[in-house]
A and B are shown apart, each in its own frame.
Chain A
Amino acid sequence: MKKYYVMIGNYGSGKTELAMNFAMKAAQHGRTELLDLDMVNTYFRLAEHGKLVNMKEIRLVSPNYACSGIETLSLPAEVASAFDMDWDTVVFDVGGDAVGSTALGRYHEDFMALAPGELEVLNVVNIRRPLAGTVEKIIHLQEEMELHSRLKITGMINNTNLAQMTGPAELRDGYEMIKQVSEITGVPVAYTSGRKELLDIFLAEGHDPKYIGTPIAIDTYMHRDWDSWVKGLSL
């Protein structure tokens, strides 16, 4: 079945990294398109990883003049190809918070025309981020994003992490909090994602599969220059 994955969520929760992972996995099985719809922050662009994406034969759609000094933060006409062309998998990487998810509203009719089960709208949650650190904050953000995107969130992704300092406690604490959100809102936990070694530890702890969803071991594609400088971290 044709699949559309839309990654929305708190600013800095790991949407781009997950979008990249979903696209790379999908590309092993079929024709894949990856769309960068981030109209908020110009600093992190999938286009920076164009070579990697092209290598896997993923079609990447980026904003006009991405990664240039004249980047205009406009939605490219090519986004229409996501709905008009014959892909097996389409992945949308969207800007952070309610502001970022506004960009999806423009495609409301296209999304509504999809067959039942084709669309997954995923709220990427990292409870170690300051504006997603409580049940109330996560629910508030979820409601705001649904309003702005004109889409219903179909599932949450527990992507709790502390970047290079992530330990097993992150996914565990994320599980506990997202479980509560799920119980209150009825939105299921669709996936739990993390680096393989940490995910394995988490899965071995025997938590309720209902609030884990499908586990996804992720690779880190979105390396930043500064990852190599953090050695001198003065914590």
Chain B
Amino acid sequence: MALTLMKGSEAIAEAAIRAGARFFFGYPITPQTEIPEYMSARMPEVGGCFLQAESEVAAINMVYGAAGTGARVITSSSSPGVSLKQEGISYIAGAQLPCVILNVMRGGPGLGSIQASQGDYFQGVKGGGNGDYHLLTYAPASIQEAINIMTFAFDKAEQYRMPVLFLADGIIAQMMEPVEMPEMVDYKVDPEKKPWAATGWKPGDDPAKRAVINSLFINTEDLTVHNDHLQAIYAEARKNEQMWEEYKLEDAEYIITAFGTVSRIARSAVDELREMGIKAGLFRPITVWPFPYEHLKAAADREGVKALLDVEANEGQMLEDVKLAVNGAKHVDFFGHCGSLMPTTEEIKAKILEMKEGK
């Protein structure tokens, strides 16, 4: 198939449409405004609906409503906008509705900057909204990987009836790479497969078949049952959905952990360190929820591994999960910048050399 030169935003939007997304609700914010812009032109072409909401809060509640009908729905925003969406995301998780949410991370806190960052790891993985819920969270490291994940993101969201979050940084949305697009999926809502979807009920119909979309369980026993059910789903997702990539780990003495764009910088650092005779390797979680704890633990436990270095474009957020995984068995160090400054291969190399010299 022919390659196309695409910007991350356009590619992710097109991939979502080809995966069956027919509703987009959002509000512009740099560095992801090209996603709604692309959707605004493309959705009418495929008989879908693009709607620029009056705010991010409105947009996520439109997602809530449309997802309740069983349709494939997507929204996108960047950090401050995703903060605004948190209430709606918690409701959607509580009501067990599938949808896809894109967070193209920029510098924070507050309005921060418009440049790329990874500062919303905690927000995406450890909560964000209220209550005991999780989002199936992917951290793509290239445009092609974002496209590939989009081909199954809606399937996963529907399988577990939980929202899927793309935790991408501004670079993934802004960069251009040659990519291969999947074919258009002919997706139609099948009420038989989605008995929970509110697709129309009138008096006289079987009351048992009435779909109710709700996150309110006022009776404590009911809420406990509901939460136990959610936790059972999360346990299942933890068991089945972990994705990660290992690069040159077989004989590595130093394991670098990184996600998203930063993992590509780290990968270059691994190659350059190896040219210098230092055995470095990379462990890259692709799902950051569920985090591949056991697999990282197995990698860290290998004989010959001296230490781990976690690299992020934040203050060290995934670092907590890396430490949980390693569980004290090996030394875990950190390098990163807050705000919007990307760590460089030179900085990563210098840090590993420093660790090697025992500083």
Contact = CB atoms under 8 A, between A and B. Distances in A.
Contacts of B317: none
Interface stretch (A49-57, A58-66, A123-131, A202-210): A123-131
B174 A235 contact: no
Contacts, number: 72
Nearest to B10: A130
A234 B142 contact: yes
Given A163-B5, A228-B268, A234 B144 contact: yes
A129 B34 CA distance: 14
A12 to B, nearest CB: 6
Contact of A231 (B14, B175, B268): B268
A128 B3 contact: yes
B144 A162 contact: no
B187 to A, nearest CB: 21
Given A69-B114, A130-B10, A231 B271 contact: yes
Interface string B288-332: 000000000000000000000000000000000000000000000
A43 B171 CA distance: 10
Contact size range, A: 20 to 34
Contacts of A229: 261, 264-265, 267-268
Interface in A182-235: 224-226, 228-235
A234 B5 contact: no
Contact of A163 (B41, B145, B177, B345): B177
Contacts of A128: 3-5, 178
Contacts of B175: 224, 226
Interface of B is mostly: mixed
A101 interface: no
Contacts of A228: 268, 345
A42 interface: yes
A125 to B, nearest CB: 12
A131 B45 CA distance: 13
B176 interface: yes
B199 interface: no
A69 B113 contact: yes
A133 interface: yes
A124 B63 CA distance: 38
B5 A129 contact: yes
Interface of A is mostly: loop
Contact of A233 (B30, B174, B177): B177
Interface in A108-134: 126, 128-131, 133
B5 A161 contact: yes
A129 B3 CA distance: 10
Interface residues of B, number: 33
Nearest to A233: B142
B7 A12 contact: yes
A85 interface: no
Contacts of B14: 130
A53 B147 CA distance: 37
A191 B6 CA distance: 23
Contact of B177 (A43, A69, A133, A230): A230
B79 to A, nearest CB: 14
A165 interface: yes
B114 A42 contact: yes
A43 B271 CA distance: 29
Interface in B81-137: 113-114
Nearest to B107: A69
A232 B5 CA distance: 17
Interface string B176-199: 111110000000000000000000
B171 A231 contact: no
Interface string B1-19: 0011111001000100000
23 contacts: A12-B5, A42-B30, A43-B31, A128-B4, A128-B5, A128-B178, A129-B4, A129-B5, A130-B4, A130-B6, A130-B10, A130-B14, A161-B5, A163-B176, A224-B175, A225-B342, A229-B267, A230-B264, A231-B264, A232-B268, A233-B142, A235-B144, A235-B180
Interface of A: 11-12, 42-43, 69, 126, 128-131, 133, 161-163, 165, 224-226, 228-235
Interface of B: 3-7, 10, 14, 30-31, 41, 113-114, 141-142, 144-145, 171, 174-180, 261, 263-265, 267-268, 271, 342, 345
Given A12-B7, A12-B176, 19 more contacts: A128-B4, A128-B5, A128-B178, A129-B4, A130-B10, A163-B5, A165-B178, A226-B175, A226-B264, A229-B261, A229-B264, A229-B267, A230-B264, A231-B267, A231-B268, A232-B263, A234-B142, A234-B145, A235-B144
